[in-house]
Amino acid sequence: MDGDRVAAAGSVDFGRVAGRAARLYTIENDQLRARVTDYGGILVSLEAPAPGGGREHVLLGFDAAADYAAHRGSFGALLGRNANRIAGGTVTIDGETYALSKNENGSTLHGGAVGFGKKFWSVTAAGPDHVALSLVSPDGDQGFPGQVEVTATYRLAGAALHLTFDAQTTKPTPLSLSAHPYFNLDGVEPRDCLDHRIEIFAARFLPTDEKQIPTGEQRIVAGTVFDFSAPLPIGARIRAADLQLRYGRGYDHYYILPQDSVGRLRLAVRAHAAKSGRVLEVLTTQRGVQFYSGNNLTGSAPGRGGLYRQSAGFAIEPQGFPNAPNQPDFPTTILRPGEAYHEEIVYRFLSADQKAAP
């Protein structure tokens, strides 16, 4: 189906970015309602069942596309070509070195200055419970080699939102796609999420240097402030005198999921909000997840419900190992011609008395 005709038939105006009109799509079932814009493939809102009936917003967000373009933080955006950081903004593939767009401390973050979250996507399909977006990233885009064609599909199924990525390339290139919704499971009033209890089904994490680049070590979480193997409030140890917490100004680290289940959809993180009783589970096919406690939210962005200050929301970003192209001991994130990239993220909601098996 032609993308322009889909846009005309199933969307509403969401303002303008750089002189171009953005469109907003709503998908809904009897439990969830989500809104997605073609600018950045951004998940603008997600409404989950409320304790007293009806639905309640659980994502930080804004009311116009221009607000997303103006503010840092990748609110709700699709991340690519490479989620997270690439040290020094360079990669070497098969003996050839590529200079990438540098947009954070001399490194490449989330694909560079104009990553996938800052581009207009084409909507190729839209229905009551799904919307599919596609993007062609040309050879040399932000310095990355190869033309990459990506499809991202949001789909509702019961109390879960599924996000799938499919891609292919014409040259070997780093590809690690993800999404960056900020959750506050108690709603989006101006309050923090530090009392949310988090459980991460990972035994190891990646320590970083002062620029938040993984050092190459894979550290056991047991006995550290990064141990969320049992449910623990985000804020319980966030102010501990730990060098890693100082580097990230809180939690902003990659957790390694069991590698014997790579490629299979499995539970990665469970979050529980005491006030609302709402439970969110994040499942993924990826090798690990970045857990980010919203440390760099400054209150400069007036969003839905008020000012978003530090830890107003948290993000769980399933993805490949950060800086993998520059760490030979990390699992590769290089996609090659003829290979099919396919990954999935599921955001699943439970009531307080439910608990699915990991």
Q: 14's torsion region: left (phi>0), alpha (psi -120 to 50) or beta?
A: alpha
Burial environment of residue 182 by CB neighbours within 10 A (0 to 12, 13 to 18, 19 or more): buried
Beta 173-174 vs 232-233: how paired, if at all?
Answer: unpaired
Distance of CA 216 to CAs 204, 227, 291, Å?
12, 19, 18
d(CA 107, CA 97): 15
Count of C-beta atoms within a 10 Å radius of residue 143: 18
Element (H, E) at 342: strand 341-350
Token pair listed for 30? 């009897």
Choosing from 281, 317, 343, 344, the catalytic residue is 317
Single-letter amino acid code for the residue at 98:
Y
Active site residue 47: no
Q: Is the CA virtual torsion 266, 269, 270, 273 positive or negative?
A: negative
Active site residue 71: no
Query: What single-letter DSSP state applies at residue 101?
Result: P
d(CA 184, CA 314): 7
For the chain, report the end-to-end CA distance as a whole number of angstroms: 38
Nearest CA-CA partner of 271 in 199, 223, 221: 199
Token pair listed for 32? 């969830």
Choosing from 57, 180, 253, 272, the catalytic residue is 180
d(CA 154, CA 345): 10
Q: Say which residues have a Cβ less than 8 Å from residue 353's Cβ, sequence separation at least 6.
A: none
Catalytically active residues, by annotation: 180, 317
